[in-house]
Amino acid sequence: MNLWIAGASITDFGELWNRSLFDLLEEASLGAVAQAQIPAEDIEAVFVANMGAGAFEGQLHLGAVVSSFFSHFPPAMRVEGACASGGLALLAAEQAILSGQYKTVLVVGAEKMTDISAEQATAVLSGAACQHSECGSTFPGLYALLAQQHMQQYGTTREHLSAVSAKNHRHALNNPHAQYQKEITVQAVSESAMIAEPLRLLDCSPLSDGAAAVVLSSERVANDNPRITGFGQGNDSLSLAKRSSLTSFVATQRAAQQAYSLSGKQVQDFPVMEVHDCFTIAELLALEDLGVFAPGEAGSATLARETTYGGKVVVNPSGGLKACGHPVGATGVKQVAYLAQLLREGQYERALAHNVGGSGATAVVHILEAGEES
């Protein structure tokens, strides 16, 4: 499978009141092309990941917006699957390359969420849940149900959840683009304001502005280009009420199995991962569904420092959604862009990215490997 990451770029994530959605899309897009060191005209198609610009800003048709950054106006489309939009846009781009239609394409994800009130943004984000059976629910409320069930079934504790958040904040200290570059203690998470029992303020990823982009190519452009060697997508019932389990995401399990199978790799082959920690409980679910830990064991492992440097696997070195920030359309692209940079620098040989839409109705897994010496 010839899918090379020729270039990658991530903007600052945060409350960027002086940057528009257009600014962010342009910075990430041109940054990825610049890193790839290819002429801009080599971009044959564009795939834009965005969830809610139509509702956040009244701007739809973002494919055409990004196409307009290039004088040759490459064909462009927007891909959406709630918070998994980034992972899905990567998949669409990969399929377009593998079809032989294009050799080199740009994938850019962005979201501009802080120009409206937090109440309005929460309402837009609720559009990722089932508006028939979950109308009126918020995402903290839906993930709180999952957390309660996990605590009841496996004995997951308040401290386990807090350890996820504290660890991701600590990791973000290494990421200059992160929204929060500030260490927080396990105790501070446990004592933060209650949002939806048992989830507290510091269990939740923030509203963020930001963008990320990668240039994918069917050919290796430079020796240090990492490679995508596996991908997978799983779906499940949009409505939690119709799920077979509330303590795992079948969509993640399916996506991971496909990606492992395609790449010929197993979960223990990955020393580093970016996983979808929109809430602390989501990181525990991810680690169990990916097979890193047995069901119910991710919380205690996190507390025992198994998911940070020196442990079993480094999870969310960027700071994750919690501390790096979660501009929803950007997230899935950012995970791959961030890991690509670590591989490019020679820090790791293999990495895994895991992106979730809604409360687990959509999941996408990508596997990256450092390019062999040519």
Cβ of residue 123: shortest distance to a copy of itself, in angstroms? 7
Residue closer to a copy of itself, measured from CB, 128 or 145: 128
**Residue 150 annotated among the catalytic residues of the structure:** no
**Residue 326 annotated among the catalytic residues of the structure:** yes
If you write DSSP's letter for every residue of 82-146 in order, what string do you get?
A: TBTHHHHHHHHHHHHHHTTS-SEEEEEEEEE-TTS-HHHHHHHHGGGS-TTTSTT--HHHHHHHH
Residue closer to a copy of itself, measured from CB, 81 or 327: 81
- Write the binding mask 60 to 99 for a copy of itself: x where contact by CB under 8 A, - elsewhere: xxxxxx-xx----xxxxxxxxxx-----x--xx-xxxxxx
Residue closer to a copy of itself, measured from CB, 97 or 286: 97
Q: Name the residue among 86, 85, 83, 64 with its Cα closest to residue 75.
A: 64
Residue closer to a copy of itself, measured from CB, 57 or 288: 57
All residues at 6 or more sequence positions from 54 whose CB lies less than 8 Å from its CB, including other chains: 60
Asked if 341 interacts with a copy of itself (CB under 8 A), we say no
Applying the rule CB under 8 A, the residues between 99 and 138 that interact with a copy of itself are 99-101, 123-124, 126-132
Using the contact rule CB under 8 A, the part of the chain among 150-158, 178-186, 212-220, 238-246 near a copy of itself is 238-246
Q: Is the peptide bond before 198 cis (omega within 30 degrees of 0)?
A: yes
DSSP class of residue 373 equals P
Asked if 57 interacts with a copy of itself (CB under 8 A), we say yes
**Residues comprising the chain, all counted:** 374
CA distances from 200 to 119, 162, 222, 269 (A): 17, 9, 45, 34
Cα–Cα distance, 322 to 336 (Å, whole number): 17
Cβ of residue 369: shortest distance to a copy of itself, in angstroms? 20
Q: Which positions lie near a copy of itself, rule CB under 8 A?
A: 20, 22, 51-55, 57-65, 67-68, 73-82, 88, 91-92, 94-101, 123-124, 126-132, 233-239, 242, 250-251, 357-358, 361-362
